[in-house]
Amino acid sequence: MIQVGTLLRVLDNSGAKIVSCIKVLSGYKRRYAKLGDQIIVSIKQLRSKRKAFSKVKKGEIYNALILKTKISKKYKYGDNISFFENAVVLLNKQNKLIGTRVFGAVHKHFRYTKYLKFLFLAMGLIS
């Protein structure tokens, strides 16, 4: 589960490497976010090779979508899914992806949400 202050890895090619959660969206006094939720993040660290032509700058604030969490997600049909890291992709104000690619595999859960586009940009699919 992601809460305020959690450090997350960025999975797209926007230029950011590490971000920190500032606020969990979609709920009054909501404390935790899980797979598929939106949060507001601040850029903490940029990728070293892409600093010159990065699309984002250190200290800027963006919306982000959670794609991977360490805490497992349990499904009614008996499936549990968890990852080794907490990871997000950065979104702009219109909820569009800032980068053009998504690194790594994405869970098939996003097939049934409004974020179907991230499945096509990702390198793989976890069922």
Provide the CA 36 distance to its chain's centre, in angstroms.
Answer: 8
| 67-86 pLDDT, tens digit each | 999 988 777 777 788 889 99
Residue with tokens 């049934």: 112
| 23-49 pLDDT, tens digit each | 999 888 899 998 889 999 999 999 887
Cα–Cα distance for residue pair 25/37, rounded to 1 Å: 8
| Rounded average pLDDT over 93-111 | 86
Q: Is the pTM of this model over 0.95?
A: no
Instruction: Spell out the domain ranges in the chain.
Output: 7-126
Of the two residues 8 and 36, the one the predictor is more confident about is: 8
Identify the architecture of domain 7-126 in CATH.
Beta Barrel (2.40)
H/E segment holding residue 119: helix 117-121
